[in-house]
């Protein structure tokens, strides 16, 4: 297993990325010198305390925001702006409220000029994959929070990107729906393997999902520690090893006030 992982190539290579925000009151360094490699088809979780620069980190890694310094390469190509070779799942779901589920999922292929029959077929495949068959014509506000996030995942997948970035996608869900969605995202990922960079503040969620956890510090955010997670899937939240690791990471994580 480990051997195989070393063999697989790095999809994301981030070198020395920092991000500073400047406003009237001065400048704030939000992330500082992050170096990170993510391998093909790896499920990587970025975990950090409350208000640390997790979101900024994933925004910069995905090209949603430019880095102040440093470079991010995806498949060897330097990233400077958003692009359809990357998928993004937002915490706020960011669905287009005026489009149906189908309209949302096929949005990417549509704006890229893919013809209707082809993009419909593709969208239908991913709608089925996330378990929303029968809801193609519903509007987002007719769906529950968990279902909305399924749409977000299908939409990101539908462009068939190389990498998927997910910024705390289950943050607004209740604990039980969250467990369901964690099982679901693993099922989806195992069916349609992609490289996933998943941001969360929930250590339990990270241990359940990840091949590797990268623990971030408080701002200015740096990498504090990495954990390789080798527990077989499906994982058990109450397994003693699982709980022990959860405690270890909890203690290691920077404190928030």
Partner 1 sequence: MIDNTRRSRKHGARAAVISIFVFLLIWQAATTFTSLGILMPSPLISLSAFFKSFIVPIGPYPIFIHIYWSLVRVVPFYIVGAIAGIILGITMGWYKPVAAIFRPIFEILRPIPPIAWIPIAIVWFGIGEGSKWFLIFLAAFMNVTINSFAGARSTDPVLVGCSKMLGASDWQIFTTVVLPGSVPYIFAGLQVALSSSWATIVAAEMIRSSEGVGWIIISSQETNNSVNTLVGVVAIGIVGFILAVIMREVEAVLVKWTKRDI
Partner 2 sequence: MDNPKVKVINLTKKFGDLLVLDDVSFEVAEKEFMCVVGPTGCGKTTFLNSLTKLYLPTSGEILVNGEPVDMKKNNISYIFQEQSTMPWLTVEENVGFGLAIKGVDAKAKREAVDEVLEIVGLNDYRKYYPNELSASMLQRVVIARAFATKPELLLMDEPYGQLDIELRFKLEDELIKLWQRTQTTVLFITHNIEEAVYLSEKILVLTNKPTKIKKIIDNHLPRPRNVVDPEFIKLRNEVTELIKWW
List residues near partner 1 by CB under 8 A.
62-64, 81-84, 86-88, 90, 92, 94, 96-99, 107-108, 111-112, 139-142, 155, 159
**From partner 1, partner 2, none, which one binds at residue 112 (CB under 5 to 8 Å depending on kind)?**
partner 1
> In the numeric block, which tokens belong to residue 111?
């704006």
Q: How many residues bind partner 2 (CB under 8 A)?
A: 27
Measured distance CA(51)–CA(180) in Å, rounded: 26
**From partner 1, partner 2, none, which one binds at residue 25 (CB under 5 to 8 Å depending on kind)?**
none
DSSP 128: H
Of 244, 174, 37, residue with least CA distance to 182: 174
Question: Cis link prior to 175 (omega < 30° from 0)?
Answer: no
Residue of 29, 68, 183, 231 that binds partner 2 (CB under 8 A): 183
Measured distance CA(36)–CA(247) in Å, rounded: 25
Residue of 33, 179, 186, 187 that binds partner 2 (CB under 8 A): 179
Please report whether residue 192 would count as binding partner 2 according to CB under 8 A: no
Contact yes or no for 158/122 (Cβ under 8 A)? yes
Write the interaction track for partner 2 spanning residues 204-223; mark x where CB under 8 A is met and - where it is not. Answer: x-------------------
Please report whether residue 69 would count as binding partner 2 according to CB under 8 A: no
Measured distance CA(11)–CA(171) in Å, rounded: 26
Which strands sit side by side in the sheet containing 195-200, from one edge to the other? 86-89, 163-167, 195-200, 43-47, 212-216, 223-228
Stretch that binds partner 2, among 38-46, 55-63, 174-182, 186-194 (CB under 8 A): 174-182
Please report whether residue 246 would count as binding partner 2 according to CB under 8 A: yes
Please report, as ranges, the residues that interact with partner 2 according to CB under 8 A.
49-51, 171-172, 174-177, 179-180, 183, 201-204, 238, 240, 243-244, 246-247, 250, 253, 255-257
């Amino acid at each position: 297993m480990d051997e195989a992982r070393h063999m697989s190539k790095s999809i994301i290579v981030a070198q020395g990325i920092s991000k500073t925000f400047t406003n009237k009151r001065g400048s704030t360094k939000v992330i500082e010198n992050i170096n990170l490699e993510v391998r093909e088809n790896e499920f990587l979780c970025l975990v950090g305390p409350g208000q640390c620069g997790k979101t900024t980190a994933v925004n910069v890694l995905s090209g949603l925001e430019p880095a102040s310094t440093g470079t991010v390469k995806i498949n060897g190509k330097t990233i400077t702006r958003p692009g359809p070779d990357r998928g993004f799942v937002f915490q706020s779901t960011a669905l287009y409220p005026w489009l149906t589920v189908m309209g949302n999922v096929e949005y990417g292929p549509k704006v890229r000029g893919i013809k209707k029959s082809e993009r419909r077929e593709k969208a239908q495949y991913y709608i089925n994959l996330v378990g929303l068959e029968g809801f193609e014509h519903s509007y987002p506000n007719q769906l529950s929070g968990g279902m909305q996030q399924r749409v977000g995942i299908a939409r990101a997948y539908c462009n068939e990107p190389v990498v998927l970035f997910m910024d705390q996608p289950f943050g607004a869900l209740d604990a039980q729906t969250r467990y369901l969605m964690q099982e679901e995202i693993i099922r989806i990922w195992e069916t349609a393997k992609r490289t996933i960079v998943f941001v969360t503040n929930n250590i339990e969620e990270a241990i359940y999902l990840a091949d590797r956890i990268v623990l971030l510090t408080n701002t200015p955010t740096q990498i504090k520690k990495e954990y390789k997670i080798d527990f077989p899937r499906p994982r058990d939240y109450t397994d003693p090893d699982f709980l022990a690791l959860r405690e270890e990471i909890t203690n290691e994580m920077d404190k928030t006030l």
